[in-house]
Amino acid sequence: MKLPCEIIVKEVLPTIRSAVVFILYNEYKLTQTEIAEKMGITQASVNQYIQKTRGRNRKILDNIPEIKEKSKEIAKTVFNDGDYLNSLCDLCKDIRK
């Protein structure tokens, strides 16, 4: 049996990152390099999120509607160079409830 935190780290967080990257790339028109720098991840990871070869779990997105809404807020925070980690932690807490 997997612990809730294990599921969050292995499945939910990559899905959230993927959604945030997708929004930053398609709506805010940032380059892969800009996204990588703002989020503290590699450009290769950004590319994989955009190509949907990493972190895109449709089942999670469909079953946890808060992710879509919160991903937009997190993307806006990232775009404005804000600290998005607290928002990410808050989302995880909400999901676990």
More confident residue, 58 or 91: 91
Computed over every residue of the chain, the mean pLDDT equals 90
- Please tell me the pTM assigned to this model: 0.87
Q: Is the pLDDT of residue 80 over 90?
A: yes
pLDDT at 88: 86
The structural domains of the chain, with segments of one domain joined by +, span 4-96
CA 13 – CA 89 distance, rounded (Å): 10
